[in-house]
Copies of this chain bind each other. A is one copy, B any other.
């Protein structure tokens, strides 16, 4: 059995990790930490887990992590980089669900996250945990940086096209909508039911912190070509799910067939990406680790429109982190998912 610690287990990503790992056949969750809920039984904060989980949240103390084979860090961005120096001395493998180790360029980090990086020495060794891009490197990594939720959906929608040079990588535009759980377990008026129900609104127009991570991953897939993405995220009144709609300009005459083939080829051996002939929908991936993708060529405008859906808490966070864990421990990628 793999002994697992979850650091920051009382938020939505942390509790989703717990929900899935409790049923994972090769895992034993030994420690769950949470600052504000320390001392409370897990099932008091998440009554759905009553009878399934006897753990109690602890404060984060390094000694409690001794014996863990892997630690998942589900803290707000900016926290993981503070604890990483100590954490890596205690636990051999770390999977960080936040944004601290995703960007190779600290200047980009500081521009989008609005604070300095506290432990840049980990950046060279951190592997960006998108299995459909970096499967082998993940298997050998000791620090995996799990992708952002929007980023997962958008990168997967463009990877085959970037890899084969089928679209212009400058001037890609994306509008994506997210369920509210993506904003975390929050006590602000802005996140209250009455403010969000029967409402849709964009936020962080052109400034969202997933932009550089998307550009970095697509550039890697395209052998370093320059990539610019204009991205607008939106909140819609659902709990789970991301739907991304991507417009890109075809680089040459192409037809639906060529695009469809590029997707089919790229994802043939990736079990969690399903390329669809019909429009995708969030409900088809809810509570699963799948990403469903539907590319459409519009000959009239010379564009390809890709729609891509995931569950933000599963393929966009906890599920993908467990997919990474499976790879890091030599398990079948789909185990427990």
Rounded to whole Å, the gap between the CB of A118 and the closest CB of chain B is 26
CA distance A186 to B186 in the complex (A): 12
Rounded to whole Å, the gap between the CB of A283 and the closest CB of chain B is 4
Rounded to whole Å, the gap between the CB of A105 and the closest CB of chain B is 15
Decide: A177 and B236 in contact? CB cutoff 8 A.
yes
CA distance A291 to B31 in the complex (A): 28
Decide: B228 and A171 in contact? CB cutoff 8 A.
no
Rounded to whole Å, the gap between the CB of A24 and the closest CB of chain B is 14
CA distance A197 to B87 in the complex (A): 36
Count of residues in A whose CB is under 8 Å from the partner chain: 73
The majority secondary structure among interface residues of chain A is mixed
Interface 9-residue window, one of A46-54, A90-98, A155-163, A315-323: A46-54
The residues of B that contact A303 with a CB separation of less than 8 Å are: 171, 173, 230
Nearest chain B residue, comparing its CB with the CB of A177: B200
Residue interface mask A189-219, B partner, CB < 8 A = 1:
1011111111111110110000000000000
The answer to the question of A300 belonging to the interface, with a C-beta cut-off of 8 Å to chain B, is: yes
Q: A189-B187, A285-B48, A288-B48 are in contact. Are A247 and B197 (CB under 8 A)?
A: no
CA distance A25 to B100 in the complex (A): 40
CA distance A136 to B194 in the complex (A): 36
Q: A171-B301, A175-B245, A247-B247 are in contact. Are A192 and B199 (CB under 8 A)?
A: no
- Can you sample 18 A-B contacts with CB below 8 Å? A47-B292, A48-B285, A171-B301, A177-B177, A180-B193, A185-B192, A187-B189, A193-B197, A197-B237, A198-B198, A198-B239, A198-B282, A200-B282, A202-B245, A202-B280, A205-B279, A228-B301, A234-B243
The residues of B that contact A305 with a CB separation of less than 8 Å are: 205-206, 230, 232
The residues of B that contact A228 with a CB separation of less than 8 Å are: 300-301
Nearest chain B residue, comparing its CB with the CB of A189: B187
Decide: A286 and B245 in contact? CB cutoff 8 A.
no
Residue interface mask A250-289, B partner, CB < 8 A = 1:
0000000000000000000001001010111111111110
CA distance A307 to B201 in the complex (A): 9
Ordered nearest first, which 4 A-B pairs have the shortest CB separation?
Answer: A175-B175, A201-B281, A173-B247, A199-B283
CA distance A329 to B192 in the complex (A): 37
The answer to the question of A324 belonging to the interface, with a C-beta cut-off of 8 Å to chain B, is: no
Rounded to whole Å, the gap between the CB of A183 and the closest CB of chain B is 8
